[in-house]
Amino acid sequence: MTTLLFHKPYGVLSQFTPEAGCDWGCLAEFIPIPQVYAAGRLDADSEGLLLLTSNGRLQQRLTDPRFGHWRRYWVQVEGEAAAHPEALEQLRSGLLIQGQRTLPARAQAISDPSLPERTPPIRQRAAIPTSWLQLELQEGRNRQVRRMTAAVNLPTLRLLRVAIDLMDGAAPLELNGLAPGQWREVDEAESQRLERLLKPSRAMGKISPGRVSPGRGGRAGGGKSGRGAGGG
């Protein structure tokens, strides 16, 4: 099994083939490893941690909503998030988005994480301050983070996924040490943890191998925004 952690830059689709008539890049420009597939997605205008694997069962396990893997995002928004505790509480409690209520989330204002400037840079309006949120979700509906922050009047300007929790009691897989466009193979300890996820449990039963679906994080498909499970 080959499994990679990749820092997806802005402007790159979570798939290996370009979209016709679209200026976004694709994973093939960065990942030379054959037969790996994205386990979950990030929209092309989002950045951060993307896990790719050659194991279809692992891809399914990490994206199956039954397991509720927490995904951590850093979100730069218009407005002073810390000055609006009611907005943070709405994010935590759940919001009605496109007729469906979001699951309870973890949300807090954080200080500026001092990230490298995005290319292209975010839009800035002199009269409107910006601030940062840390938002953690257990689901990955289409453009969910952006829809949630917009619903509480804190529009998203920049979005990075920085961690994926394997829900095994150990530290989440994190973006640390990877610059935009860089990737690495998981280390031995991480590989063992991922393999343990595939062992059958009495509570959930064994996941059937199935086929990897190119439209949900595979080497093609997914649309210009990188639609599919991911939340970013």
**DSSP summary character for residue 115:** P
Distance CA 94, CA 92 (A): 6
Angle between the 85-93 and 144-151 helix axes, to the nearest 10 degrees? Answer: 140
Whether 165 sits among the annotated catalytic residues: the reply is no
Quickly count: other Cβ atoms within 10 Å of residue 132's Cβ: 20
Pairing of strands 47-53, 3-8: antiparallel
Using CA atoms, how far apart are residues 7 and 214, in angstroms rounded to an integer?
20
How far is the first Cα of the chain from the last one, in angstroms, to the nearest whole number? 26
Q: Of 23, 43, 45, 168, which is the active-site residue?
A: 43
Crossing angle, helix 188-197 and helix 56-63, to 10 degrees? 70
Length of the chain: 232
Active site residues: 43
